[in-house]
Amino acid sequence: MIVRFDGDVFRWEARSDSDWYFVALPPELSADIRETQTYRRGFGGVRVEATIGGSSWRTSIFPQAGSVYVLPLKRAVRDAEGIDPGATIVVDLVVLDA
């Protein structure tokens, strides 16, 4: 599955000292992934390859409370692409687990 979506960057608020940033997949895309996945990793993760601008990396998306998956944004990617908290970004995503 190959998809493109827009999302807003947010900081994980569970810990005040956290430097973890994410972008949420749209609910309908999250539902599609959930329906097509037969294999999930620890914490319900699904392996993906993400591309934002000129940066590509492999990671996992994780289910967040509610019904959406979230994509973690590495500091190196945020720095390379000039991504700030609250920014709206375009993500190309290839779902690797099937």
Q: Residue 35, Cα to own-chain centre: how many angstroms?
A: 17
**Average pLDDT of the chain?**
88
Residue 37 has pLDDT above 80, yes or no: no
CA distances from residue 5 to 33, 57, 94 in whole angstroms, order as listed: 13, 16, 12
Residue 56 has pLDDT above 90, yes or no: yes
Residue 29 has pLDDT above 90, yes or no: yes
Which residue is listed with tokens 């608020």?
A: 13
Residue 15's pLDDT is 58
Q: Are 44 and 62 in contact (CB under 8 A)?
A: yes
Q: Residue 8, Cα to own-chain centre: how many angstroms?
A: 11
Place 44 in a pLDDT band, splitting at 50, 70 and 90. Answer: confident
Assigned CATH class of 2-95: mainly beta
Place 86 in a pLDDT band, splitting at 50, 70 and 90. Answer: very high
* Domain ranges across the chain: 2-95
